[in-house]
Amino acid sequence: MTHAKDVDLSQIYGDTHVENRDGRISVEPAGNYAVEAKNSKGDVELTLPPNASASIDGHTHNGDIVSDYELTISGDENKTVTGRVGGGGSKMVLTAENGDLRIKKGSGFSTTTSTGSSEDVPKPPKAPTAPNAPHLKAQKALPPQPVKQ
Determine the pLDDT at residue 112: 37
The model's pTM: 0.70
Determine the pLDDT at residue 115: 42
Please identify every stretch of the chain with a pLDDT value under 70, giving residue numbers as ranges: 108-144, 149
Q: How far apart, in whole angstroms, are the C-alpha atoms of residue 93 and residue 21?
A: 17
Determine the pLDDT at residue 119: 46
Are the C-beta atoms of 72 and 109 separated by less than 8 Å? Answer: no
Determine the pLDDT at residue 40: 94
Q: How far apart, in whole angstroms, are the C-alpha atoms of residue 80 and residue 78?
A: 7
Strand pairing class (78-85; 54-61)? antiparallel
Determine the pLDDT at residue 2: 76
Strand pairing class (65-67; 72-75)? unpaired
